[in-house]
Structure 1
């Protein structure tokens, strides 16, 4: 049996998309085939105690490719006779790969997400990514968009293979009980547009708010439910107050992963009009929230940033807004779905079927196993 050393800074209980991705991949591997080297975050002792595999935490909140981390990785690989290694995020921890190979780990895989597309756009960081790729047998990518950015910069230094995040279709389901969420946040009986994401400019909550009066013109009882926290919250709240939208825009704050399906299910439409910023350095790698929403039976409204359009079948499971910076365009896409509930429900059903077929963790886990056991 292949035994794998997992080296990752991104690991629960710290929350985030990469953390969720890595943990879900490991949940579907034989427990005795894994040992994890990770950083510490609040609550790690309790979290690790419930896991079926061993986790070793370095005494640091951020795991970097330092000599101490390199020694710990080599020691664990030898102790557990690991023949493969997986880097939860290849940049920068993939720099440890040559040392592990020299210590007898013969097959090394590193994952990329979205931020690496920014790395390869900058000369110094690009050289680091080329070094990382040269030390790995496989470098994974999450979308065709991220591959298109990575491949030219890496110059054939390693094999590229797709490993996208997946959706737990047993948790994210139209049957999720949304009644407590609707009651807690006073959403009433009108239509709800939900956005689940960090509150940062790239995600487009500001455009949703700017276009919201146009939605209310046609659907006065509608509510906009913003789920998540982030540095843009204060600015968004000021915009809501200045426009007099306080009664129709609800800030739910951060929500624990276990409760997210109910928040999706509380909506009639999901909207996150993400946009690319900073000359392409701030970009959406894929957009798992679109797939989670689709799994819950919602039609989605997406932006054009990076790989986001790959998480939507435009016109079938939702709408990709060509100009996600335009409040008029975004509000028109949202309103069109609220105007035609039958079409919205059909899109939601199509999205659910697509996620079950293409994006379920069962499918992704089989892909991951094939990458670790070539």
Structure 2
């Protein structure tokens, strides 16, 4: 791999899906061939501690939001030359990929831009579509998460850039997420032993569909009166969800854990019999699921999954094999699938095993990092 400058606004200790994606990929590439140029974060001491622990050099900009301004672009070009980098990897193509022509003139021979869910939203607006076209023209390769994001971004960047797109989605650490991850201990701690459990591990925001789960729960309870809905994660929607559970009359069978430490996340997946997150698209397609790595983490843990039909979420499910995709707002169909899975242990086992195999074959971090390394 050429020595590579990673230019990213999304890097830990700031938390989020893109941050986790970029960091995990970076850790699996040759450390002596990487330099990271990233924004800073709210707690400078935490950033310094994190950076010191990395196997590669991290250079922080003074701003908390890295944008393709003239100053930031000049700084990126200076770092490219100073460290002898001949490749550039934009952690998120939009908007940082607008720096590509300047970095090309500074000596970059290969430029790769990663796209995520927000670029698919950009593709729907005339002004941002034009910016995406410029980014596509300036890079050698744009990566995509799945067929949903590919189709929308390809329509915006034009046929030449679209022909150079390559799938590089986030991966799953199959050594962390596995069927023996500690779910029994979580069940015992929460008092859920010997009860059917549907688990949803996700940030609590409207798009994720935890409210649809709660609204569907009375139908599940009619078939399985002792069933529990385990909602794992934090977010601004929690108070509304708790109120909804009370109004729906199911509060006693809905358990909110709040945020859990990363090292306990896999065990919380494992505490469920079924994983469900009925995500839905909002705001006219601007608030959409890019992929839904949670479904793959649940599959790696050996659970059947029920996904919503928002954006790229269906790309993370093999319909009828590793789980089901339902309309994100259809609580009736959601309840039917949950009841079907809770009532059929052999079906759960088959789907869970199929999901585990799929992750091992196609979604491991090391396989995907090899693909990115080839592009660079």
TM-score range, shorter chain: over 0.9
Q: Which residue of 2 aligns with 1:195?
A: 200
Does the aligned pair in 2 maintain the 1:185–1:252 contact within 8 Å? no
5+ long unaligned stretches in structure 1: none
Q: Which residue of 2 aligns with 1:44?
A: 47
Q: Which residue of 1 aligns with 2:58?
A: 55
5+ long unaligned stretches in structure 2: none
Instruction: Give the distance between the partners of 1:40 and 1:248, measured in 2 at CA.
Output: 42
Instruction: Give the distance between the partners of 2:242 and 2:369, measured in 1 at CA.
Output: 40
Instruction: Give the distance between the partners of 2:366 and 2:52, measured in 1 at CA.
Output: 25
Deviation (angstroms), 1:259: 2.1
Instruction: Give the distance between the partners of 2:60 and 2:190, measured in 1 at CA.
Output: 38
Does the aligned pair in 2 maintain the 1:297–1:352 contact within 8 Å? yes
Does the aligned pair in 1 maintain the 2:184–2:270 contact within 8 Å? no
Verify: 1:92 aligned to 2:84, yes or no: no
What is the SS of the residue equivalent to 1:125?
helix
Q: Which residue of 2 aligns with 1:126?
A: 129
Q: For 1:153-209, what per-residue CA distance to the aligned partner results, in whole angstroms no more than 9, with x for missing partners?
A: 111352211111111111111111124422443334201111111212211111000
Match of 1:357 among 357, 361, 364: 361
Q: Which residue of 1 aligns with 2:79?
A: 76
Instruction: Give the distance between the partners of 2:277 and 2:290, measured in 1 at CA.
Output: 14
User: 1:121-160 residue pairs with structure 2 within 5 A?
Assistant: 121-158=124-161, 159-160=164-165
Instruction: Give the distance between the partners of 1:306 and 1:104, measured in 2 at CA.
Output: 37
Instruction: Give the distance between the partners of 2:292 and 2:219, measured in 1 at CA.
Output: 26
What is the SS of the residue equivalent to 1:271?
strand
Instruction: Give the distance between the partners of 2:63 and 2:255, measured in 1 at CA.
Output: 37
Instruction: Give the distance between the partners of 1:94 and 1:181, measured in 2 at CA.
Output: 43
Deviation (angstroms), 1:364: 0.6
Instruction: Give the distance between the partners of 2:140 and 2:235, measured in 1 at CA.
Output: 36
Distance 1:188 1:175, change over 3 A: closer
Q: Which residue of 2 aligns with 1:346?
A: 350
Instruction: Give the distance between the partners of 2:220 and 2:305, measured in 1 at CA.
Output: 16
Verify: 1:27 aligned to 2:33, yes or no: no
Instruction: Give the distance between the partners of 2:126 and 2:248, measured in 1 at CA.
Output: 43
Q: Which residue of 1 aligns with 2:302?
A: 297
> Which 4+ residue blocks in structure 1 deviate beyond 4 angstroms?
none
Instruction: Give the distance between the partners of 1:59 and 1:217, measured in 2 at CA.
Output: 56
Q: Which residue of 2 aligns with 1:13?
A: 13
Q: Which residue of 2 aligns with 1:368?
A: 372
Instruction: Give the distance between the partners of 2:347 and 2:266, measured in 1 at CA.
Output: 22
Does the aligned pair in 2 maintain the 1:36–1:55 contact within 8 Å? yes
CA RMSD of aligned residues (A): 1.3
Verify: 1:209 aligned to 2:214, yes or no: yes
Instruction: Give the distance between the partners of 1:152 and 1:327, measured in 2 at CA.
Output: 33
Match of 1:103 among 102, 106, 124: 106
Q: Which residue of 2 aligns with 1:254?
A: 259
Deviation (angstroms), 1:121: 0.3
User: 1:225-240 residue pairs with structure 2 within 5 A?
Assistant: 225-240=230-245
Using structure 1 for the length normalisation, give the TM-score. 0.96
Instruction: Give the distance between the partners of 1:196 and 1:62, measured in 2 at CA.
Output: 28
Does the aligned pair in 2 maintain the 1:130–1:157 contact within 8 Å? no
- Matched residue count: 371
Verify: 1:219 aligned to 2:217, yes or no: no
Deviation (angstroms), 1:219: 1.3
Instruction: Give the distance between the partners of 1:202 and 1:52, measured in 2 at CA.
Output: 36
Does the aligned pair in 1 maintain the 2:8–2:66 contact within 8 Å? yes
Deviation (angstroms), 1:256: 3.1
